[in-house]
A and B are shown apart, each in its own frame.
Chain A
Amino acid sequence: MNSGRVVITGIGLFCGSGRNLAEFGEALMNSTCGIGPLDLFDVSAFPARIGCQVRGYDPLDYFDRRTAAKLSRADQFGLIAAGEALNESGVAGCCSPYDMGISMGAGAGGMFQAEQWLRSRLAGEAASPLLLRGMLPDKTATEIAARFNLAGYQGSVTTACSSSATAIGWGAELVAAGHQKVVLAGGSDALSLLTFAGFNALRVVDPEPCSPFSLGRQGITLGEGAAFLVLEDEEHARRRGANIHGAVLGYALAGEGFHMTAPEPGGVTAARVMREAMERSGVTPDEVGWINAHGTGTPLNDVVESNAVKLVFGDRAPLVPLVSTKAMTGHCLGAAAAVEAVATLIALQRRIIPPTLNFRGRDPECDLEYCHEGPRPCDSRVALSNSFAFGGNITSLVLSL
């Protein structure tokens, strides 16, 4: 059992709002929204035609042709972000490969390629079997482990939109328990017709860039990308002179056991998960400066999450800004929480609370502080990051400097 904190010694990110940590940090500090027209597949038949796509992405900028052909879009994003995180941490060679693991959250995985195979099959056309190779979302972790020689724990959490939050919390737990010296934790996901058409069919996609907590919001905007954190025991990190970006203090998770798509209206389980996450982290509500919300921009989610925050923070709730960086990055599904963890860490380091972009007007049912007006300074060293998912899977992470 390790006694120290689980610290973050490397960060990597690749998404529609930035293709590396520096670009993403700049976009966050400048409040730049990455949402724009989609051209990955034909969206002309849908009312919403936008997203936070990694536009103009050419795999050959990162991989040779043969390697790229074997990897799904999600695999490629994951490898790029994992590479940045591991390179930045300098952890390679610091311990046995069997003491270094990977815990990642995944979503649609290689569905973008697999659906092309299905379309061709239905049309009676020949299709490359390579399109199916990365269909299952666990392939990304296997690829990353093989590429970077991570021979310890290898696992993929697949709880839709909360996947990478649980993966990060679980990765930190493996380090805290002394089971692994280093865990690369995060998530990767790519846009696909399945998810785009699916959320459109449910009528929860906003035709305009999503505007979480705003009056008149109509739903989510989809995004894609990958983000990873290198987690290790603080003593191990300090002994090797690693740069420490922050810490994962703890997490909690639960299932609402209520409905496949609708959240529990009162937000009771979400509130319980936030409380438990803080308790397990040794943090009191007074120490939490702000919350990176799940904040999808659907009418229901944003009200329920606001209510849950009121249950947890009581009279202090209006003083704990609940902000959604999804208005900048889109909803990256299986990678969403990992991208948001990176945004949270950058904001903690820069001593700001990031804004919730795309404000359209104040919703009387969302009556907390959402930083619609812009970023604000913050001295707090601790923030929560919430993730809710289809099926009622809720996870809350506690991150700190």
Chain B
Amino acid sequence: MISPATDIVITGLGTVTAAGGGVEPLLELLRSGGTALTPVPPEVAGGEGYCWGKAHGFRATDYLPPLKARKMDRCSQFGVAAAGMALKDAGIVPREMDPQRIGIALGCGFGGVANSAEFLTGYFSGGVEGLSPMLFPNTVPNASASNVSIEYGLKGPNVTLVQRFCSAESAFLMACRFIAEGRADVMLTGGADELLPLMIEGFAATGQVRRHASCFGEGSSILVLESAHHAARRGAGARGAVLSVATIGMLVAGREEEGVERLLARSAAEASLISIGGTVRETPLLGDRLHGRRTIDTAGCLGRSLAMGGTAMAALLASLEPEETGLHLAASPEGPYYAIRFRGDASVHP
């Protein structure tokens, strides 16, 4: 399916990754060809030679009062920090606009896992007496988006999605539709994920650290989507515009070419810069199209996660020249697949 988006611009970006807080450290890392990956302790991964993109430098209290930060799980802290940066970048103070017209659609793969593990560990170790009620509310995957909405007073559409390595892209599609349908003027979208040693143990147990889960990462990247009309009315500059969002759920055996054609049409040929999410390189019919193309691969230096498509899209938008067309491609081993086209805007933030 293809959803054209003719009236949606991106007016703000915010990121928290292993590269640091903000888009600039991310771009600098990409420009330098360096890496923010660090070794996973061998006792965690079950062997030497594995890396992860832990946001070691992140301190929630740089973005939140300590008392508030303590009430949130780390994934929510990432989301709240990235959302705050993105709103500031967009020049939006939510409480100064109609709160019902601003919402959030967030991809979140591993949000809630840390609190779930700690909560259950309390029970398995100490029975009912070991249960900590404070942990339970943040075991849900929508904790990050909800904490963002509580922190910034967003009362518009609020939704969290997960779909393999395309979780942030799934949220992006929905955010675009909400603006197109007139459900909101502004939507925060992107992804948030947390990585903890227990998850690496789990990936190791299932053989995933040698496959798709090698070099997992964490963090959050938020894009501020806005109807072009709304952005123009408040005199906001745009980092870019959304041209279309295409997705298919899976490639049907024997009809793979048809699926890829529906996904890409001519968009891959038109794009002068392509960002890559999930397992695109390992998907033959998609990976083949990348030969000789300018690409951005944030997973290579930050690690991969289910909702890190937000980071890839933020890096793409921040790298596009005015009027340049960019494509974000994302794939999961069993689907879904996304192709999101952007245009770098002429009226970029100073």
Contact = CB atoms under 8 A, between A and B. Distances in A.
Contact of B202 (A122, A132, A173, A202): A132
B1 A152 contact: yes
B176 to A, nearest CB: 11
Nearest to B263: A98
Interface stretch (A23-31, A157-165, A343-351, A364-372): A157-165
B3 A179 contact: yes
Nearest to A178: B1
A68 B69 CA distance: 42
Contacts of A57: none
Contacts of A69: none
Interface size class of A (residues with CB under 8 A): 35 or more
Contacts of B147: 260, 391
Main secondary structure of the interface of A (DSSP, over half): mixed
A175 to B, nearest CB: 11
B247 interface: yes
Interface string B1-23: 11100000000000000000000
Contact of A391 (B120, B128, B142, B152): B142
Contacts of B303: none
Interface string A101-129: 11000100001000101110111000101
A393 B133 CA distance: 20
A259 B146 CA distance: 8
B170 to A, nearest CB: 5
A257 B150 contact: yes
B131 A197 contact: yes
Interface stretch (A2-10, A140-148, A303-311): A140-148
Contacts of B99: 257
B150 A154 contact: no
A253 B159 contact: yes
B96 to A, nearest CB: 15
A390 B137 contact: yes
Interface residues of B, number: 76
B336 A194 contact: no
B174 A170 contact: yes
B338 to A, nearest CB: 10
A151 B177 contact: no
B123 A193 contact: yes
A284 B128 CA distance: 49
A256 interface: yes
A200 to B, nearest CB: 8
B250 A122 contact: no
A151 B252 CA distance: 7
B239 interface: no
A174 B1 CA distance: 9
A49 B336 CA distance: 40
B207 interface: yes
Contact of B249 (A101, A135, A393): A101
Contact of B149 (A153, A156, A272, A392): A392
Chain B CB count within 10 A is highest, among A97, A106, A259, for A97
A135 B117 CA distance: 12
Interface stretch (B33-41, B161-169, B218-226, B278-286): B161-169
A129 B41 CA distance: 21
Given A389-B142, A390-B146, A119 B248 contact: no
Interface string A363-401: 000000000000000000000000001111100000000
Instruction: Output the residue of B100, B136, B149 with the most chain A CB within 10 A.
Output: B136
Residue of B99, B121, B128, B158 with highest tally of chain A CB at under 10 A = B158
Contacts of B142: 158-160, 389-391, 393
A98 B262 contact: yes
A132 B117 CA distance: 13
Interface of B: 1-3, 99-100, 103-104, 108-110, 116-117, 119-121, 123-125, 127-128, 131-133, 136-143, 145-147, 149-150, 152-164, 167, 170, 173-174, 177, 181, 183, 198, 201-202, 205-207, 247-252, 255, 258-259, 262, 306, 334-336
Given A166-B159, A255-B157, 12 more contacts: A96-B258, A98-B252, A122-B121, A129-B205, A149-B252, A157-B160, A160-B140, A197-B123, A197-B128, A201-B131, A202-B136, A393-B159
17 contacts: A98-B1, A98-B258, A118-B117, A138-B162, A150-B250, A155-B173, A155-B336, A157-B160, A159-B140, A174-B1, A177-B177, A200-B128, A202-B137, A255-B145, A255-B156, A390-B142, A393-B142
